[in-house]
Amino acid sequence: MIEKHFVLEEADPAIFFGVGNSNLRLLRALCPKLRIIGRGNVMKVMGSEEDMAEFEETFNALEKHCTKFNLLSEEDVLNIVKRHPSNGETPGNVIVYSTSGKPVTARTENQRRLVEAYAKNDMLFAVGPAGSGKTYTAIALAVRALKNKEIKKIILSRPAVEAGEKLGFLPGDMKEKIDPYLQPLYDALEEMIPPAKLQEYMATNIIQIAPLAYMRGRTLNDAVVILDEAQNTTTAQIKMFLTRMGWNTKMIVTGDRTQVDLPSSIQSGLTEAIRILKDVPGIAFIEMDRSDIVRHKLVTKIVEAYEQDAKRRKEDKEVQTSKKAAADSNGSALA
């Protein structure tokens, strides 16, 4: 009889062992020749060398399924142990699976273009209105790359700019001060990575969330790096960010050019970067629109109303400018 320890490196132990260790108990019943003990993220197994070799294959299949789908039901355990195919084979358009086991997919044509562009380019710009899935799709791509061991870390950043209101002094340490700006990124991560695993990734800096100001001087290798709300960067800031790119790194820049919170005298770095880099090979630009909005149906109507108002204001301004020019011309002629 031999003894071997199997370590859950990627899967969340709480999901793997099941509620009340239900999966562990089922595994013991299905493998009566083995003595199986689970503690923490380690499974200690004792048995014959032949049975152990077969169990190792089963364990790897169980962990792979749990990591991939963020789910491991008793039915899944039964199917895998009996070498039956799982019910949850990955459809071609699934990026990752949420913590509830639901597939995260590209739901619109432009989101699919973003996924395809990610495979072909090292740098992407995804620009579009609120709710069009820019950030969510980008983070799903990053989580998939991490789970597939294509990269070693995910780095998420956004400029610390208030949306039209001054928050003033924020108490606490640096993390507590910047968390309000980064909450949308946490929200997306929490939907795709089990809580215990997410906490572990952040504690070990496998997932890093930082304000843009802390990117200076770094070279980012073996990572997916996402800059969110890039419309609120200055030209100098976005140039600094883009030049942090290292080997085996993908960069995704997201933003909405209609929601710039910078002072009116400052040009948005996102707009400038798109203009300057539009012809550079290896950089893809995905323009999203109202048809990509996947939030509540009212969001689409709100975006449309603001676009129409902006169009009317622009037309009114052009009319006023034209009238003023005509008046000035008449005044000059009379003089």
pLDDT given for residue 29 in this prediction: 87
Tell me how far apart the alpha carbons of residues 289 and 129 are, in angstroms, rounded to a whole number: 6
CA distance 253 to 310: 25
pLDDT digits (tens, 9 = 90+) for 276-328: 999 999 999 999 887 777 666 676 677 778 878 888 888 888 878 877 777 77
Alpha helices in the chain (DSSP H): 13-17, 22-30, 49-69, 74-81, 109-120, 134-147, 174-192, 195-203, 235-242, 269-277, 297-334
pLDDT for the residue numbered 251: 96
Does the structure show a pLDDT above 80 at 91?
Answer: no
The confidence score (pLDDT) of residue 86 equals 52
CA distance linking residue 126 with residue 270, whole number of Å: 10
Q: Is the pTM of this model over 0.85?
A: no
At how many degrees (to 10) do helices 134-147 and 109-120 cross? 40
